[in-house]
Amino acid sequence: MDIRRLGHTTDLLGESPCWDARAQALCWVDSLAGTLRRAWPATGREEAHALPPPVGSIAPCASGAVVAALRNSFVRYDFTTGAVEPLARIPVDHPNVRLNDGKCDPWGNFLAGTMHIHRQPGEPLLGGLYRLRPDRTVERLADDIAFTNGPCFSPDGTTLYVADTVVRTIWAYDYAPQGPLRHRRAFALTEALGSGPDGATVDAEGCVWTGGLLVC
């Protein structure tokens, strides 16, 4: 395995790396600074764009733009014009709750979940896991995830993996693009490793990678 640094930037909190196949560029965000970055490995070119912070996650659009999860809303950012187009909001407006990690499913829906920080004992859990559809409607798929991280899909799209970093667990669900989540089960427990799962992805063989941990 060959690990090398890409680009020359330094982020406060680098998040949500994703490959834009059309542009042949890697996109990611500096979440706390609200900076959307693109880098072209073939040429070394880099560019930065401003979004309202914090930015939880992004995903490339077929149009060449990106969809982004902000504090409690989804927007579309146009690289060419710099326009930030509001798409939808989640029904939560609380200083300790914001959208965090997200990923597109194989059918073009964007899933992103919240993190509820500084929650006191007995305080109700706010937010959840949300699905943004291409028609801009938003639905809540789960309401029991305190710190959403690493949503990703099996190669056929029928299994959703999503971590709750607070309980150091990656959950698996049966997934359908038009239906609710079903059959939640624990896929990986990381308490014994002394850490919680963060971002994740699934490889072509169906193995889940998260924070250096491989689970098949």
Residues with a known catalytic role: 198
Q: Phi, psi (5° rounding) for residue 166?
A: -60, -45
**Cα 94 from Cα 114, distance rounded (Å):** 11
SS3 assignment, position 195: coil
Q: CA 41, CA 27: separation in Å to the nearest integer?
A: 11
Q: What is the DSSP string of 108-155?
A: S-EEEEEEE-SPPTTPPP---EEEE-TTS-EEEEES--SBEEEEEE-T
Residues 6 or more apart whose Cβ sits within 8 Å of residue 178: none
Tell me the β-bridge partners of 129: 113, 142
Structure tokens at 56: 């939880």
Placement of tokens 């993190």 in the chain: 115
Question: Rounded distance, CA 184 to CA 173, Å?
Answer: 5
Cβ atoms of residues 105 and 151 within 8 Å: no
Cα(130)–Cα(42) distance, rounded to whole angstroms? 35
